[in-house]
Amino acid sequence: MSITFSIDGQIYRGAKSITVLNRLDTICGEFSIDITEPPETFPIKAGQSIEIQVNNQNVLTGILEKIIFNNEINDRTITLQGRDKTLILVDSSPLNQLSFQRNISLE
């Protein structure tokens, strides 16, 4: 099985773990990627596009939202987290911004 991910078109291999979650009770799919050997230069930034492929089949197209650096002595990993591109619709939805008040008179 071949698992790769690309960020803004740059292909990366050799992740320690890749998790993709698509649940029925949420609109957005989520992902988390742990990297143990980061590239020499680290050009990855939050907000970049990401695609995750399994056997050359795209399983997620999304946006990188968080980069978490773990610098413990025995565990030097970088975790990349984000959601699929439906986050654009969810985050811009007016339902996320509405609030309702009770006992309002229409007089």
Average pLDDT on 89-97 reads 64
Average pLDDT on 24-52 reads 84
Instruction: Please give the pLDDT value at position 79.
Output: 92
Report helix, strand or coil for 80. strand
Lowest mean per-residue pLDDT among 9-23, 35-49, 55-69: 35-49
pLDDT digits (tens, 9 = 90+) for 61-71: 999 999 998 87
Instruction: Please give the pLDDT value at position 53.
Output: 92
The Cα–Cα gap between 66 and 7 comes to 13
| Nearest alpha carbon to residue 61 among 69, 46, 71, 51 | 51
